[in-house]
Amino acid sequence: MKKQEHWDKIFNTQCEEILGWFEKDFSQTLKYLEKIEKLENKDVFVSGVGTSKIADILALREGKTVLNDISLEALNILKKRIKRENVEFFHFDISKPFKKECDVWIDRAVLHFLIEEEEIKNYFESLKQSLRKDGLILFAQYTKGTAEKCASLPLKQYDVEEFNLYLGKGFKLLESETFEFSMPSLDKREFIYALYKKID
């Protein structure tokens, strides 16, 4: 099954509240977003947003919000909820090269689904091309030693060293921590949250 078909099926047939990555409590993600100065006016790119309600929160800002997903079903659900002129719905596979200029790049639980080295390199190259100088990245991915699969797909686990390797010297780590995420099934999974700044 192709990637888009896989994700379309999930968002077309399953209730959002039972999806393994569903966030009922946004406090951890919001804690990091609140560290970003003048977020209200910045252009924000959200990779693999799915149907997350973080999209609704970001859409209320004055700055532009680009909501990306490989699933057209997911984006259609968001389009019914969010009707704001400052929001762009970007249907695209982020394992392919692209450029969308932004001040902030947010990736919660998406990057770790990219397994092939070429796909990962494409992702980071697109990120570097898209993010303006002094721009910020917020990663939240499965950390080393935790889940090996999600949504019936294999995962690549991350830590700060792994992020540093792919980002290179043009980025500075501002803050990071591991966070125990409670899934709707009540199982616990550890995520690595990391906030980076583009310095070159």
Percent of the chain's residues with pLDDT above 90:
72
pLDDT for position 183: 64
Specify the higher pLDDT residue, 184 or 146.
146
CB atoms within 10 A of CB 116: 10
Q: Which helix (H) or strand (E) segment is 79 a member of?
A: helix 72-81
Tell me: pLDDT of 193 over 60: yes
Decide if 161 contacts 140 (C-beta within 8 A).
no
What's the rounded mean pLDDT across residues 63-86? 96
Half-sphere exposure of 94 (CA within 13 A, CB side): 32
Tokens matching residue 96: 């392919």
- pLDDT band of residue 18 (cuts 50, 70, 90) is very low
Closest CA to 94 of 108, 78, 111: 111
Tell me: pLDDT of 72 over 50: yes
Tell me: pLDDT of 75 over 80: yes
DSSP code, position 171: E
Q: Per residue in 86-141, pLDDT tens?
A: 999 999 999 999 999 999 999 998 999 999 999 999 999 999 999 999 999 999 99
Tell me: pLDDT of 23 over 80: no
One-character DSSP codes across 25-78: --HHHHHHHTTSTTGGGS-EEETT-TT-THHHHHHTSSS-EEEEES-HHHHHHH
pLDDT for position 189: 78
Q: Give the lowest-confidence range in 50-54, 161-165, 174-178.
A: 50-54
Angle between helices 160-167 and 117-130 (to 10 degrees): 70
Tokens matching residue 141: 């991915």
Whole-number Å distance between alpha carbons of 122 and 92:
13
Single pTM value for the model: 0.92
Q: Per residue in 34-67, pLDDT tens?
A: 999 999 999 999 999 998 989 999 999 999 999 9
